[in-house]
Structure 1
Amino acid sequence: MEAKWQTNWTERISYGLSDAADNLVFQMLTTYLLFFYTDVYGLGPAEVAILFIVARVLDVVESFIIGLMIDRTHSRWGKSRPFFLWYALPYVIFAVLTFVTPDFSHTGKLVWAYVTYLGLGFLYTAVNLPITSILPTLSENEQELTVLGVIRQFFGSSVQIIVAVFTLPLVAFFGHGNQQQGFLLTIGLFGCISLVLIINTFFHVRERFSNPEIAHQPIKKVISMLVRNQPWLIISVVIFLYWLTTAIKNQTTIYYFKYTLEREDLVPIANSFTLAALIGVLLIVQVSRRLGKKRTMLLGIAIAFIGQAILTFGVYTHVLATLFTGIFINSVGHGLIIGLVSIMIADTIRYGSAMGIQAEGILASTDDFGVNMGLGVGGMVTAWLFHLSGYVSNHAQNNATLSMIKVNYAWIPLGLYVLMFGVLMIYDEHRLRSTVASGTSSPVIN
């Protein structure tokens, strides 16, 4: 029999607001950091590409380290919850420092960018990974976990849209023509709100379900479980591909409107159509109940592909109605995909527990690993291709660069959706559910 619901609405909302808090900063990085570095801060696209490469290499280690730290944490607050308290303030401080433009030489500014961006990447993982790792400990009710995941993504997606739409107007408002000042004051505002929301999560969520006998296993046993956890391996690849697609599209949006259409003022309007992601998120509970989580996510990928195909047609015809329609439909699909990510990771954590290893920190690290790797590789690809095509900031672009912008914004995401769909087809949801329900799997890790 399904367990009764254990959380109340205060806890559910507080849990959801944790993702809103992180996205106030994360969406700034996803959508505007590349533009900030090239057109405001003063770095070349090749320098930014190398920075993103270095950051992604470190992210491989950071996600694992934070996951291991969670699994090795013994505190009166649990394993994941204390990370909200310990790392909230340092996270916000580094977020602000990342958008500071110091009066240094070019080399000094490059060093500053490395220190602040790499530091922020580590701290983002420290406050974001616990959101995923704590989920399966909040309730034993599978439907309740789905609802909690949807609430989380609803708030997270809402804030992503708010940041995407209002960042440039806020930069203009605070900066009065000075984009350096505008970006700094905008991230300062977002950072203060983020700090309050993260601390609020710490005070209102509770870790209820943990098995001490399997909660702190030797790393050798954990790794043995990981390589046998097929659902976790597959969803890890899907998450990376999703964020790679998102990063490439989001970071190219402002370049497309600024240099191809010569209508930078349309960026907030274009981003406002991503509000449709909330439609997809809100559909998850009902659709997944009918289709299951795997087929619901596959449906989301298919819808996103259709929207991207319409967007591609709009890119080449310059018909705004077609372009915005494509963004709208694509965003509905994205809502279905991203809203299921933390829920399906929670399933892989429960699957691991059925194998005798409760390692929610390590298993949840795939989410932040995918986010960081997707963001970084996407930014690296975009910056490097721009460099190869001869991009020059704040000038009319050559034909090669204009073509590259269109390829990034339209064609690369189309190919990635196809790859994402193919990978998810391998996911064995039936085996996962039967294993979790029985509480055992074969083989059990000894």
Structure 2
Amino acid sequence: MDGKWQTSLRERISYGLSDGADNLVFQVMTTYLLYFYTDIYGLSAAEVGMLFLIARFADVIESVLIGVMIDHTHSKYGHSRPFFLWYAVPYVTVAILTFVVPPFNHTGKLVWAYGTYLLLGFFYSTVNLPITSILPSLTDNSREITLLGVIRQFFGQTSQIIVAIFTLPLIAFFGGNDQQRGFLITIIVFAAISLILILNTFVHVRERIPMPPATSFKKTFDMILHNKPWLTLSAVIFLYWVTTSMKNQTTIYYFKYNLNKENLVPVVNAFTAAALIGIIAIPFVTRKFSNKATMMSGLSIAVSGQLLIIAGSELWPNLTLIFIGTFINTVGSGMVIALVSVMISDTIKYAQRQFKVEASGLMASTDDFGVNLGLGLGGMISAALLAKTGYVANQSQNQATLHMITLNYAWLPLVAYILMMLILSLYDQKTVHAVTNDN
């Protein structure tokens, strides 16, 4: 339904900054935590892989639990909005503790890593899941929802760019030759900014569209099993973040060990800024094409870029090809991620109108679930492959390890993108549009 726009400019910006706030901290973890654990903290790749695996099982429970918590929260601030207030401080505090290297023996350090990493996953969900669940209650204007989703991803991607470009230079600036100290001070800076921005979102957003009372869990579970658009989109989101994690976490290994050009990591990471092109294009492209068609186009562009990365890393080794491929791939990825929260909002409305079920918190958890499970599984796969081939931190790697790094950096993401396209083809855009726009 289109009509009068209901959010102010300040509210739209504040809403978008919430994702930027979360990503300032979370992207450091998803991009550099595997490297931090193996090369600085002192864990083996196998130990990190097991940690990531166990954390993923915890995320399955956490995402559902927090979604149900949102659905059953009744406060003067609304259902989703108070979570920004309640959990901002715990989130940034645990993020800082995750990058502390305690003066314990190896077993003690392993326990510390488990405790902080598992808590970080939980508290990330408490401040990130509400960003998606609150969207349908901010406005009932479909074009406005799309704009809000784009603004969210714009700021989220901007934070990813900041992390990608500035993290290693900041670590060097604050720590010099002491990367341990550099990591800790850098995460403290990012966490402080994140806290301010999350609280800013709480202050300025408003839940103005009343949501029906939460439906029983039994009826909700039955709806989920029959909500094919939601199931399809959930699978795509999950695969997207698996792929993102594998690529992000392997980049530093590929440039450090395969190319012996660790100094170029901030340079190649700078190409993540290209995602903003894809994100900004969304409001214009979706005026002529459906959300599904637009996302499919984004995946096609991502595949094209990934093929160039393969060419530059395997077929005709060439840094220029890798950089161009990264740029093109990231433009396509930006188009995909910009539509995620918008299409989840569509499936929430679809559930409300087609099945008469209100479970916005639980259904929004697919985004958070996909992020946590996908990123964690991608990290686990990367760590497991390194361990399997005999990776040794800060040493020259054997050929099997170098080959596995290239496989993880270039080939496996291509397979995942193609699989995403096949799954997305099952998304019934016409039915979703007809139901959600039926007044």
- Common fold, TM-score beyond 0.5? yes
> Aligned ranges for residues 358-377 of structure 1 at < 5 Å?
358-377=358-377
Query: Does residue 242 of the first structure (1) align with residue 240 of the second (2)?
Result: yes
1:26: how far off? 1.2
Cα-to-partner distance string for 1:187-206 (whole Å, 9 max, x where unaligned): 00000000000000000000
Give me the whole-angstrom Cα distance separating, in 2, the residues matched to 1:433 and 1:299.
19
Is the aligned partner of 1:325 residue 2:324?
A: yes
Partner of 2:115: 115
Contact 1:18 1:152 (C-alpha < 8 Å) held by counterparts: yes
Cα deviations across residues 291-333 of structure 1 (Å, max 9, x unaligned)? 1100000000000000000011111233111110000000000
- Residues 273-292 of structure 1: pairs in structure 2 closer than 5 A: 273-292=271-290
In structure 1, the partner of 2:379 is 379
Residue matched to 1:188: 188
1:390 and 2:377 are equivalent in the alignment: no
Matched with 1:346 is 345
- Equivalent residue number for residue 90 of structure 1: 90
1:386 is displaced (CA, Å) by 0.4
Of the structure 1 ranges 425-434 and 308-317, higher mean CA displacement relative to structure 2 is found in: 308-317
| Aligned pairs (5 A) from 1:252-267 | 252-267=250-265
Which amino acid letter does the alignment assign opposite residue 72 of structure 2?
A: R
| Other structure's SS at 1:101 match | coil
> 1:130 matched to which residue of 2?
130
Which residue identity is paired with 2:348? I
Deviates more, 1:362-371 or 1:314-323: 314-323
Where in structure 1 do 4 or more consecutive aligned residues deviate above 2 Å? none
Q: Helix, strand or coil for the counterpart of 1:290?
A: coil
Question: Residue deviations 1:201-243, cap 9 Å, x none?
Answer: 00000001123xx322211111122112111100000000000
1:156-184 per-residue CA deviation (whole Å, 9 max, x = no partner) reads 00110110110000000000110100000
* CA-to-aligned-CA distance 1:392-434 (integer Å, 9 cap, x gap): 0000000000000000000000100110000000000110111
Q: Deviations over 1:322-351 (max 9, x none)?
A: 110000000000000000000000101111
Instruction: Kindly report the root-mean-square deviation, in angstroms, between the aligned alpha carbons of the 2 structures.
Output: 0.8
Quote the residue 1:229 is aligned against: 227
What pairs with 1:71-90 in structure 2 (closer than 5 Å)?
71-90=71-90
Unaligned runs of 5+ in 1: 440-446
Partner of 1:153: 153
The residue number in structure 2 matching 1:444 is none
Identity among equivalent pairs (%): 59
User: In the alignment, what sits opposite 1:420?
Assistant: 420
Match for residue 301 of structure 2 among 281, 284, 303: 303
- 1:342-364, Cα deviation, whole Å (9 max, x unpaired): 00001011111112112110000
> What is the deviation of 1:438?
2.1
Q: Distance in 2 between matches of 1:191 and 1:356?
A: 40
Q: Alignment partner of 1:395: what SS?
A: coil
Distance in 2, Cα, partners of 1:177 & 1:135:
44
How far apart in 2 are the matches of 1:322 and 1:19? 31
Q: 1:442 maps to what in 2? A: none
Gaps of 5+ in 2: none
Once residues 228 and 289 of structure 1 are traced to their aligned partners in structure 2, the CA distance between those partners, rounded to angstroms, is 29
1:272 corresponds, among 249, 270, 278, to 270
Task: State the TM-score, normalizing by the size of structure 2.
Answer: 0.99
How far does residue 3 in structure 1 lie from its aligned partner after superposition? Answer: 2.2
Q: Distance in 2 between matches of 1:234 and 1:73?
A: 28
- 2:166 alignment partner in structure 1: 166
- Asked if structure 2 preserves the Cα contact closer than 8 Å seen for 1:261 and 1:318, the reply is no
Counterparts of 2:145 and 2:226 in 1: how far apart (Å)?
Answer: 24
1:215 counterpart (188, 213, 218): 213
| SS state at 1:438 partner | coil
Distance 1:382 1:106 in 2: 22
Native 8 Å contact 1:71 1:79 kept in 2: yes
TM-score (norm 1): 0.97
Corresponding letter in the other structure for 1:257: F
Residue equivalent to 2:19: 19
State how many pairs are aligned: 437
Tell me what 2:335 maps to: 336
Tell me, in whole angstroms, the C-alpha distance in 1 between the residues paired with 2:30 and 2:98: 13
